[in-house]
Amino acid sequence: MAQALKETNFHFPHQKKMYRGKVRDVYFIGDQHLAMVASDRISAFDCILPKGIPYKGQVLNQLAARFLHETIDIVPNWLEATPDPNVAVGRMCDPIKVEMVIRGYVSGHAWREYRQGKRVLCGVTMPDGLRESDPFPEPIITPATKADEGHDEDISREEIIAQGIVPEEIYVQLEDITRKLFARGTEIAAKRGLILVDTKYEFGLDADGTIRLIDEIHTPDSSRYFYADTYAENQEKGIAQKQLSKEFVRQWLISNGFQGLEGQEMPEMPNEFVETVSNRYIELYEKITGEKFIKADTAHINARVESNLADWVLSNVGS
């Protein structure tokens, strides 16, 4: 099995600090740049699973870079370069502490809430009579607070503004940008025979106060996709939709008695399932881009990433 990039501990010239998130290791370089190393860690229910998924970080990084480029006409973003298949570097922004989640279909978390009888999610009313994976009459925005640690929490637009998490004039812009990004993502997915079911966007403010799209966009970690050609038939027959997302990992965990709740023990994925997960990530890349995924050399993956990122730092920030 290919080597997975579990974590990094690099030290570069002008490095101010380093932060390890659930999936990405973030390096703050100088006063204006940060580098995101997309590891092969995988999280579900806000917990990091013990084993890494080979090529997952490369898939996420390359898809995110592609979609950031394809949406630059809608909103500026933070990205400046991708010096390694697993690395993105760009402009430092002050993160807005809200994830803008948008859902076109009742699936995943929305369905788990819906089937328990809940009809209001993040202040948005969901109509009665929906089956799992049915479309909403129009996409709904269901924000979540962005937690530094632990679980993100559902929150309504009204609560965000009342608590002063985001000023109303900024939040209104975030909603507008979110709907435009989702429409673009839906169009791109449709051309590749996919349905963009739901996704999340994260934003920040740069030094000039400009709203910028940060982090990833339309990747299998941040988004859910269905296959368009079998969608209608599966809905009619009540068959679960085949998903190109990490929802199947969540379902595997649920079937093994784990949902991130207190007292539950996380099961360890067998190597065969790890390989399956890796192949599903690669499948999404190839399906949504229409291009063959080129596997980067993983024999000495930490050294490769460190060398490529160091070269970028020396060339762009100084020795």
147/203 same-domain check: yes
- Digit-by-digit pLDDT tens for the chain (319 residues) are 799 999 999 999 999 999 998 899 999 999 999 999 999 999 888 889 999 999 999 999 999 999 999 999 999 999 999 999 999 999 999 999 999 999 999 999 999 999 999 999 999 999 999 999 999 999 999 999 976 555 579 999 999 999 999 999 999 999 999 999 999 999 999 999 999 999 999 999 999 999 999 988 999 888 999 999 999 999 999 999 987 778 789 889 999 999 988 899 999 899 999 999 999 889 889 998 999 999 999 999 999 999 999 999 999 986 5
Q: Which of 237, 255, 279 is the last residue of a domain?
A: 237
Instruction: Residue 208: give its domain's CATH number.
Output: 3.30.470.20
Both 105 and 233 in a single domain?
A: yes
Neighbour count for residue 26 (Cβ, 10 Å): 14
Residue 228 lies in a domain: yes
Residue 225 lies in a domain: yes
Question: Is 4 domain-assigned?
Answer: no
Tell me, yes or no, whether 42 and 169 share the same domain.
Answer: no
On whether residue 256 sits in a domain, the answer given is: no
For residues 147 and 226, membership in a common domain is answered with: yes
**256, 267 in Cβ contact below 8 A?**
yes
- Whether residues 40 and 173 share a domain: the answer is no
Is 232 inside a domain boundary? Answer: yes
**Of 219, 237, 255, the domain-final residue:** 237
Please state the domain count of the chain: 2
b/e map of 168-189 (b: 16 or more CB within 10 Å)? eebbeebeebbeebbebbbebb
pLDDT at res. 231: 97
Q: Tokens 């673009």 label which residue?
A: 184
Together in a domain, 22 and 139: no
Kindly state whether residues 126 and 33 are assigned to the same domain. Answer: no
Domain boundary among the residues 190, 221, 237 is at: 237
Same domain, 52 and 40: yes
pTM (two decimals): 0.89
Are 300 and 311 in a shared domain?
yes
Domain CATH number, residue 279: 3.30.200.20
For residues 119 and 176, membership in a common domain is answered with yes
pLDDT in the model for residue 317? 85
Examine residue 7 and state whether it is found in any structural domain, yes or no.
no
The reply to whether 70 falls in a domain is yes
Give the per-residue pLDDT at 319. 54
Range(s) of the domain holding residue 120: 95-237
Residue 41: per-residue pLDDT: 95
Q: pLDDT at position 220, please?
A: 82
Do 198 and 280 sit in the same domain of this protein? no
Question: In this structure, are 88 and 183 located in the same domain?
Answer: no
